[in-house]
Amino acid sequence: MKKIQISPSILSANFSQLGNEIKKLEEGGADMIHIDVMDGHFVPNLTIGPPVIKALRQYTKLPFDVHLMISPVHKYIQDYADAGADIITIHPEATDNLKDSINHIKKLNKKVGISLNPKTKINVITDFLNEIDLILIMSVNPGFGGQKFLPEVLDKIKELKKIRDQKNLDFDIEIDGGINFDNSKLAIEAGANILVSGTTIFKNNDGNIKKNIDLLKSS
């Protein structure tokens, strides 16, 4: 079984203190930092872009797990690689040619992540499974932190795990949206090995980040 890793989303952090918040996440045992990039077009919300990510790079050596909710995504991939992303995750709906975008990320020596919205089916990516390092299963409709977990996506995770075993592949399965101390266990049992969490990590137990990360890890 793959090691369970926690990728806290800085979407729920104090945006006036992002550098310090990232340091706290590292001290609290985070395995990577999940950065939600939204463009007000692919999703209704607007967040941060490459200059902010570049400025944050100095605060930690942890991998930057960059979740791009922007469209068209292809022409911006290089900018996120240059800013310091380690994993670049894109949505299939946000590019005209998924194969080209995957190859572009690989050529930049970054890990390739593909994100599936709650309604997006696995068959969209079946042809590319060999090329993908990580599949990010959305358990809310992307756009905002603090939404309610959609349990129906657990079946998709189970199916992906089955396919990974059958085909002897090695991609990570990450889950994103509404993860809390109750459903984290269900996500792991289904086959997720990376848990993204914003609200639960930053707001629970009076914002005790270390405690919240520990609790999620021991789900």
CB of 206 to ligand DX5, least distance (A): 17
Partner from Zn ion, ligand DX5, none binding residue 164, C-beta < 5-8 Å depending on class: none
Report the residue number, 144 or 181, with the smaller CB distance to Zn ion. 144
Which residue of the chain is nearest ligand DX5 when measured via CB? 198
Of residues 170, 172, 176, 206, which has the active-site annotation?
176
Partner from ligand DX5, Zn ion, none binding residue 178, C-beta < 5-8 Å depending on class: ligand DX5
Q: Catalytic site residue 82?
A: no
Name all contacts of 153-162 with Cβ < 8 Å and 24+ positions apart. 153/118, 154/186, 154/187, 154/190, 155/190, 156/116, 156/122, 157/187, 157/190, 157/191, 157/192, 158/190, 158/191, 159/122, 160/122, 160/135, 160/191, 161/190, 161/191
Size of the site for Zn ion (CB under 5 A): 3
Nearest residue to 60 (alpha-carbon basis) of 26, 88, 100: 26
Integer CA distances (angstroms), 128 to 49, 101, 209, in order: 27, 11, 36
Integer CA distances (angstroms), 214 to 115, 201, 205, in order: 26, 10, 12
Report the residue number, 132 or 175, with the smaller CB distance to ligand DX5. 175
Q: Return the number of other C-beta atoms located less than 10 Å from residue 108's C-beta.
A: 15
CB of 145 to ligand DX5, least distance (A): 4
Q: Provide the binding-site residues for ligand DX5, judged by CB under 6 A.
A: 9, 11-12, 34, 36, 67, 140, 142-143, 145-147, 176-179, 196-200
Q: For residues 98 and 90, what is the distance between their CA atoms, to the nearest angstrom?
A: 9
CB of 124 to ligand DX5, least distance (A): 18
- Subset of residues 38 to 77 that bind Zn ion, contact rule: CB under 5 A: 67
Quick check: 36 binds Zn ion (CB under 5 A)? yes
CB of 43 to ligand DX5, least distance (A): 6
Q: Catalytic site residue 36?
A: yes
Binding site for Zn ion (CB under 5 A): 36, 67, 176
For the annotated catalytic residues, the residue numbers are 36, 176
